[in-house]
């Protein structure tokens, strides 16, 4: 990074109003930049540097490594594998674009578009990642399975609308509550009801949702930078911690789905 000349960074009060959303991060803001200037910021340290790379690196890892571990050839599970792969990639793509270009000279219009793209990626992982879980949980109940998938898609559409129109982190986090509640109901069916699926996958799904929820709460609470404003401007602020927890939750989603796919390859529903 030392060989790349960086522009003079600015403080919170000097940054555009639409970028003043965390008043505990005091310094390290990039000035308004062209497209090339935003791309150039990949190579010098600023307060969005960690936010970019805590999702860019997982994206590249998921992009290359997951296809080597997904059983694309498994009979009847091809669509599950495709949805799962797209689900694992979707939140990291939107996030990287948002954080990389948020200071673009296009101003608030570009910022709002990028934020909507970021939220859409989060909604996609909640939707595409869960539909295979719905399918496997209600595998032996086709009518209930179709109704549950339709209901979950409807909740997802509502979640997308709520997330992209929300004006605060709290409201954005609340946008995903109903989807989380639906998944909790599916886990209940697996543990105590007629639901099906690999018993081993439940641990991974529980950790997945717990990590994602914890990341959202950390981001809303603005911890730890709230305790010492200015000390976490570049590293280990709440948003970076959330990014790392989200990336780890995707790993647990993948592990859980691999357990379910192994189970699916050998399971047969009892005759009616």
- State how far the alpha carbon of 10 is from the alpha carbons of 27, 47, 188, in Å: 6, 10, 50
User: How many angstroms separate the CA atoms of 68 and 77, rounded?
Assistant: 16
pLDDT score at 167: 82
Band the pLDDT of 271: cuts 50, 70, 90.
confident
| 28-264 topology per CATH | Rhopdopsin 7-helix transmembrane proteins (1.20.1070)
Bridge partners of 10, per DSSP, are: 29
Would you list which residues are annotated within the binding site?
Answer: 99, 239, 243
- Does residue 150 surpass a pLDDT of 80? yes
**Strand locations in the chain, DSSP E?**
none
- Does residue 4 surpass a pLDDT of 90? no
Would you list which residues are annotated within the binding site for Zn(2+)?
Answer: 99, 239, 243
- Does residue 157 surpass a pLDDT of 70? yes
Of the candidates 192, 202, 252, 250, the residue with the CA atom closest to the CA atom of residue 59: 250
pTM score? 0.94
pLDDT score at 173: 87
Look up residue 235 and give its two tokens.
Answer: 């590293």
Mean pLDDT of the chain: 94
Q: Give rounded-to-5 percent helix, strand, coil for the chain.
A: 65, 0, 30
80 close to 261: Cβ distance less than 8 angstroms: yes
User: How many angstroms separate the CA atoms of 195 and 255, rounded?
Assistant: 19
15: left (phi over 0), alpha (psi -120 to 50) or beta: beta
Phi (first) and psi of residue 154, to 5 degrees: -65, -45
């Amino acid at each position: 990074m030392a060989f790349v000349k960086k522009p003079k960074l600015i403080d919170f009060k000097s940054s555009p109003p639409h970028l003043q959303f965390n008043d505990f991060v005091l310094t390290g803001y990039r000035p308004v930049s062209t497209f090339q200037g935003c791309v150039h910021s990949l190579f010098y340290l600023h307060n969005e540097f960690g936010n970019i790379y805590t999702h860019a690196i997982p994206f590249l890892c998921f992009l290359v490594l997951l296809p080597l571990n997904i059983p694309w050839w498994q009979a009847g599970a091809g669509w599950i594998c495709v949805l799962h792969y797209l689900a694992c990639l979707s939140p990291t793509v939107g996030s990287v674009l948002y954080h990389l270009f948020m200071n673009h000279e296009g101003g608030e219009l570009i910022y709002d578009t990028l934020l909507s793209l970021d939220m859409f990626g989060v909604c996609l992982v909640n939707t595409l990642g869960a539909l295979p879980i719905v399918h496997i949980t209600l595998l032996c109940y086709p009518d209930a399975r179709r109704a549950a998938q339709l209901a979950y898609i409807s909740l997802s559409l509502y979640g997308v609308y709520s997330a992209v129109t929300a004006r605060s982190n709290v409201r954005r986090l609340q946008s995903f509550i109903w989807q989380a509640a639906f998944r909790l109901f599916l886990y209940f069916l697996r543990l105590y009801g007629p639901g099906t699926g690999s018993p081993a996958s439940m641990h991974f799904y529980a950790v997945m949702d717990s990590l994602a929820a914890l990341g959202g709460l950390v981001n809303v609470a603005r911890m730890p930078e709230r305790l010492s404003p200015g000390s976490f401007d570049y590293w280990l602020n709440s948003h970076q911690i959330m990014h790392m927890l989200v990336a780890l939750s995707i790993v647990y989603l993948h592990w859980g789905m691999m357990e379910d796919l192994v189970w699916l390859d050998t399971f047969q529903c009892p005759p009616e």
